[in-house]
Amino acid sequence: MEKGQKAPVQSEYAVEMLHITKRFPGIVANDDITLQLRKGEIHALLGENGAGKSTLMSVLFGLYQPEEGIIKKDGAEVKISDPNDANALGIGMVHQHFKLVECFTVLDNIILGVEPVGKMGVLHKAEARRRVLELSKKYGLQIDPDAKISDITVGMQQRTEILKMLYRNNEILIFDEPTAVLTPQEIDELMQIMRSLAAEGKSILFISHKLAEIMAVSDRCSVLRKGKYIGTVNTKDTTVEELSAMMVGRNVNFHVEKKPAEPGKVILKVENMTVASKMHKNNAVRNVSFDVRAGEIVCIAGIDGNGQTELVYGITGLEPLVAGKIELLGQDITRQPIRKRSIMGMSHIPEDRHKHGLVLDYTLEDDLILQSYFESDFTKAGFLRRKNIRAYANKLIDEYDIRSGQGPVTMARSMSGGNQQKAIVAREIDKEPSLLVAVQPTRGLDVGAIENIHKQIVAQRDAGKAVLLVSLEMDEVLDVSDRILVMYEGEIVGQLDPKTTTPEEMGLYMAGAKREEM
């Protein structure tokens, strides 16, 4: 902005990313993408996994430098070479996984990095507290400044993150998938907060792939697909169907087609199960009893962290039980090792495919035999039968449409998340289990892959297998399951029928506001 140039005209846009192109080896992550955020609007950024949303945000925060394109703030071109530049420009972000210090108080977390320091390095917290409380009141962000992060709810943690941005006088607020961890009631609250922030003149970029939320809260929506910019629409002029077609590139069937369940004999019986928690002194799962029958999909619903993970660990044998009993096909397996359970007919699609599901530095074929490498088909006299393994891997790759760069010898690490998940699903289903335990099987996958996996799960049920599905996604729970059990603070607080219940009713159970005596 040298002399001779006019001072920038008051721009209608808070921030503009114009014709951004960012390449990585072998892939164009962002291909000529333009995103213009108006002042005081809520702008949704929609796209499947791998569409380039994260890369675009990393460019905005200076973590990546784009090969082409410019960024403008208030109409003037700016250079953002690292996150500090972004902060200086008033751009703030609430990450999907909060960046909070667990053992610090809410107030300490808010002032972290911009502490009001007096002489000799003495902290002046009183002034900071006054400002935080003021902000909290102004925007209706309920917090307790002296509570420790580890003691407060996820919703309050998120409000702490929002206050962090406001305390730094950020004008541009980015929310990265903010609703993934919230209850329906908390989501409503967040929407209110976002609207009031926008009303106060803040500009909000809302990253999501949940169409309903985008329709509910945003003014405009920009869609990315496979690194390309598809378009920007006014939310009030569009429909969920149009948005999803823009996102996926075709029409998607949201509803899972299935015929009524015909439950048979009990396959899994859990009695008074209690599992200890690694995080705290209380038990993560408390005195839980239920059973799963052949030919039905029982879904454990609940908000993340209410004992679902530990419940599955207990059933699959990853953690020992404190008390209780588990029966599989009428046999007591409470003290049986994992391998025994697996051989008896339990399959497990784990919650975290990178932690448990795959050895990422193994080839695809080696990962496909993870549950069966010891069988005589694949091992003879202690040596692996490579020929059989290759044939088996090729068979699964064909049947389950697992796509990869080099077929069976592709490194699992280099495959896309969707195909990694397909490999796990193929491995676990091909074992022909009597019980399939599937934990968030569609987490982080795009709409097309989700459709595919849901079909597979329903097909298992129709083949007379028992399915225990653990999910955090309300839509998935309602669409796929035949019976819903809601978990809250380690206990099952309600059994619902997906045909008659509503998301609101489920939400009340999930939030602990309602419970029935089981």
Partner 1 sequence: MLKKRSLLGKPAVQTLLSSLLCIVLGVLVGYIALLIINPAGAGEAVTDILKNFWNYKKHATQMKNLGNTLVKTAPLLMCSLSVLFAYKVGLFNIGAAGQYVAGAGACIYCAVGLGWHWLPCMLAAVIAGALIGSISGVLKAHRNVNEVISCIMLNWISLYLVNTLLSKVKNPTSPYTYEISKQLVVEEGVAKTVAHTEALLPQIGINSLFNNNKYVGIAVPMAILFAVMIWVLLTKTRLGYELRATGLNKYAAKYCGMQDRFNIVLTMAISGALAGIGAAMFYLTGFEEWSVTQSSVPAMGFNGIAAAFLGGLHPVGAIFSSFFIQHITDGGAQLNKQVYPAEISNLISSLIIYFCGFVLFFKLVLNKWLDRRFEKRMAASQKGVSKS
Query: Can you give the binding site for partner 1, defined by CB under 8 A?
Result: 23, 25-26, 316, 318, 337-342, 348, 350, 355-362, 366, 370-371, 373-374, 379, 382-384, 386
| Min dist. Cβ of residue 30 to partner 1 (A) | 15
Edge-to-edge strands of the sheet including 466-471?
346-349, 435-439, 466-471, 297-301, 483-488, 491-496
User: Is the CB of 147 or the CB of 360 nearer to partner 1?
Assistant: 360
User: Is the CB of 32 or the CB of 489 nearer to partner 1?
Assistant: 32
| Min dist. Cβ of residue 338 to partner 1 (A) | 4
Residue 354 DSSP label? I
3-state secondary structure of 47: coil
Residue 87 tokens, joined:
């902060």
| Min dist. Cβ of residue 368 to partner 1 (A) | 12
| Min dist. Cβ of residue 25 to partner 1 (A) | 4
User: Is the CB of 38 or the CB of 340 nearer to partner 1?
Assistant: 340
User: Is the CB of 277 or the CB of 371 nearer to partner 1?
Assistant: 371
Q: What is the dihedral of CA 115, 116, 117, 122, to 10 degrees?
A: -90
User: Is the CB of 424 or the CB of 445 nearer to partner 1?
Assistant: 424
| Min dist. Cβ of residue 424 to partner 1 (A) | 10
| Min dist. Cβ of residue 441 to partner 1 (A) | 15
Please give the single-letter amino acid code of residue 4. Answer: G
Distances (CA, A) of 36 to 33, 60, 67, 128, 198: 10, 12, 19, 33, 16
Q: How far apart are the first and last CA of the chain?
A: 69
User: Is the CB of 231 or the CB of 320 nearer to partner 1?
Assistant: 320
Q: Which of 429, 296, 297, 323 is nearest to 371 (CA)?
A: 429
Tell me the residue ranges of DSSP E strands in 25-168. Answer: 27-38, 42-46, 68-73, 76-78, 91-94
| Min dist. Cβ of residue 354 to partner 1 (A) | 8
The CA distance from 138 to 167, in Å, is: 12
User: Is the CB of 277 or the CB of 316 nearer to partner 1?
Assistant: 316
Longest CA–CA span in the chain (Å) reads 86
